Amino acid sequence: NAGVTQTPKFRILKIGQSMTLQCTQDMNHNYMYWYRQDPGMGLKLIYYSVGAGITDKGEVPNGYNVSRSTTEDFPLRLELAAPSQTSVYFCASSRTRLAGDEQFFGPGTRLTVL
Amino acid sequence: GQNIDQPTEMTATEGAIVQINCTYQTSGFNGLFWYQQHAGEAPTFLSYNVLDGLEEKGRFSSFLSRSKGYSYLLLKELQMKDSASYLCAVRDRGYSTLTFGKGTMLLVSP
């Protein structure tokens, strides 16, 4: 199993550009998450999904959109990139939401908006 | 909401024991996780506590007191590779999401 994969690894955007961060998991997990991590800060939840076709906002959803058309894929869309969106983005998945089920993280996408 | 506090940085010597504390104030609690994150890498799962007491896993142990809103991660026989950030995370009432603390950067020196 490849686990959770993310593309691209690095990206530089200009202000106002748009892009999609890709996330795929091959563990047949129902739950998927998008986090951002700024220097010296913990992980902040952007959006999450409890299954195909179901998404919900996390703590910091503004400026982002998601979709979940399949169990495997959970792309994150930035429509109008702003410098405040410069961050490292992590996608994660978990099998269930039962007690003790850990989240598995992808390697991250480092995004810079100039 | 959730409020999670951890020390920002800690230093320790190779071979020593270090305890990283985490305090939390939450509107609901359904378990506490510890993750390890090396610089430039993804977080990886270390431990999970939902009941009071100590969970031991090799060189790492984690303790939880729900009444005090307190947990700690204990690392024994420190190795250089243990230099990393350690993230405390609390599972919310609805079970679906985790709220993470800012992490504690541990530096292990020879």
Q: Residue A111: its pLDDT value, please?
A: 97
For residue B33, which residues of chain A lie inside 8 Å, CB to CB?
A: 102
* pLDDT (tens digit per residue) in A10-21: 999 999 999 999
Q: Residue A99 pLDDT more than 80?
A: no
Q: Is the pLDDT of residue A4 over 90?
A: yes
Confidence of residue B95 (pLDDT cuts 50, 70, 90): low
* B17-39 pLDDT, tens digit each: 999 999 999 878 889 999 999 99
Please give the pLDDT value at position A2: 85
Please tell me which of the candidates B33, B45, B100 has its beta carbon nearest to residue A42. B100
Tokens of A49: 């999904």
Contact (CB<8Å) B95/A97: yes
- Neighboring chain B residues of A58 at a CB cutoff of 8 Å: 97
For residue B81, give both structure tokens.
């590779």
Q: Do A105 and B43 touch (CB under 8 A)?
A: yes
Q: Please name which of A42, A48, A43, A46 lies closest in space to residue A29, comparing C-alpha atoms.
A: A48
Q: B3 or B63: whose pLDDT is higher?
A: B63
Q: Which of A15, A33, A83, A107 is nearest to B43 (CA)?
A: A107
Chain B residue with minimal CA distance to A49?
Answer: B96
Within 8 A of A31 by CB-CB distance, chain B residues are 96
pLDDT at residue B1 in the model: 63
Does the CB of A39 have a partner CB in chain B at under 8 Å?
Answer: no
CB pair distance less than 8 Å for B98 and A103: yes
Of the pLDDT bands very low, low, confident and very high (cuts 50, 70, 90), residue B10 is very high
Tell me the pLDDT tens digit for each residue of B56-76: 999 999 999 999 999 999 999
Taking the Cβ of residue A105 and every Cβ of chain B, the question of whether any pair is shorter than 8 Å is answered with yes
Closest of B23, B10, B1, B31 to residue B82, by C-alpha = B10
- Interior/surface letters B11-47, b for 16+ CB within 10 angstroms, e for the rest: ebeeeeebebebbbebeebbbbbbbbbeeeebbeebb
Residues in CB range of A60: below 8 A, 6 or more apart: A36, A44, A45, A46
- Average pLDDT, stretch A23-34? 95
pLDDT digits (tens, 9 = 90+) for A61-95: 999 999 999 999 999 999 999 999 999 999 999 98
